[in-house]
A = this chain, B = another copy of it.
Amino acid sequence: MKINVGVLGATGSVGQRFIQLLAEHPMFDLTVLAASERSAGKKYSEATYWHQSEPIPENVRDMIIKPTDPNDESFEDVDIVFSALPSDLAKKVELEFAKNGKLVFSNASAYRMEGDVPLIVPEVNHHHFKVLNIQRENRKWDGAIITNPNCSTICAVITLKPIMDSFGIDLVNITTMQAVSGAGYNGVSSMAILDNVIPYIKNEEEKMQTESLKILGDYEDNEFKNANFKIGVSCNRVPVIDGHTESIFVKTKIEVEPEEIIKVMDNFDPLKEYNLPTYAKPIVIRYEEDRPQPRLDRNTGDGMSIVVGRVRKDPIFTVKYTALEHNTIRGAAGASVINAELFVKKYL
């Protein structure tokens, strides 16, 4: 028996990725696509500027887009909605869906840092799901809002988790080189980025610095406790379609050699037992001197693996390495979908 699911913001960049992941999903039946007033009532293929390199899944082409309204009858039999809404809209709409009893798996930033909202990367902190008891009590609803982090945060925390567990972490320094798709289809104009780097992404450094500490922190006595290390970040946009590259420097509590870091990363595989459909090995290590590279490696694990390379010593930090993430799969739609998969299998 599959669970009926819907996608909010189905016509945008992340919405399209949700559709690719959900169109033939073994646990979920994609029954509702919702978008703005302007699109509602139209066929999906007519309302959307589809810009993926694979065509629109056949069973989705002719689906009629619904309004983004939990009271619309199309949502009646839907248990889970995936939200690819922009943050300001998400703030209002996700609340309505949760009140209406839906499980909202959201890629938006609106609720990520709230004290009663889980911010989940399932390989890292799925025990944070427990906060939902508090959330439901506080907010007096049967639904739930479950968030995943910013794309760049996910890439970082997946690689930090096995290091922290084995050796402890004191300091983390990251400089990102992020793909244009992270800003949405019209987010970065070609005149802005061709032959260029933009050393600024609005709010991105703040998100990475706060979200990481929540995710890698504990949940005790009904409260989130931040992880106990310092993290500083510098974010940049580069002329790459998909794939965020991060130069990461880590100072561990226990001094270790790069080889040991590689080993714990390579062995990191905490969700294996659940057989989640969207799951891939969380960290794939590359040993060549010039990998990972976004164009060549972003599709590793169907876009769900973080690819790590150039693990080496640093004069200041214990280790430095390069991590790569497919930002619109592992870093966005895939992040919400795998959250839902684990939640259904383990916490429902």
Contacts and interface: CB of A to CB of B under 8 A. Distances in A.
Nearest to A194: B241
A195 B191 CA distance: 11
A296 interface: yes
A240 B190 CA distance: 9
B294 A195 contact: yes
A245 B197 contact: yes
Interface in A168-195: 171, 173, 175, 177, 180-181, 185-195
A199 B293 contact: yes
A4 interface: no
A289 B201 CA distance: 9
Contact of A186 (B53, B189, B309): B189
Contact of A290 (B53, B199, B298, B314): B199
Nearest to A13: B191
A315 B231 contact: yes
A299 interface: yes
Interface stretch (A219-227, A316-324, A338-346): A316-324
A13 B241 CA distance: 22
A196 B230 CA distance: 30
A101 interface: no
Contact of A315 (B13, B191, B198, B209): B209
Given A177-B236, A191-B181, A295 B196 contact: yes
A15 interface: no
Given A185-B191, A191-B181, A314 B232 contact: yes
A332 to B, nearest CB: 14
Nearest to A313: B232
A253 interface: no
Contacts of A316: 171, 173, 230-232
Given A294-B196, A314-B232, A315-B230, A238 B238 contact: yes
A130 interface: no
Interface string A215-249: 00000000000000011101010111101010101
Contacts of A197: 177, 238, 240, 243, 245, 293-294
A200 interface: yes
Nearest to A213: B315
Contacts of A281: none
Q: Which 10 A-B pairs have the closest CB atoms?
A: A175-B175, A200-B290, A196-B295, A234-B247, A232-B314, A199-B322, A175-B247, A180-B190, A232-B316, A232-B315
A49 to B, nearest CB: 9
Interface in A266-296: 289-296
A213 B234 CA distance: 24
A200 B310 contact: yes
Contacts of A263: none
Nearest to A235: B247
Contacts of A181: 191
A177 B197 CA distance: 8
B231 A199 contact: no
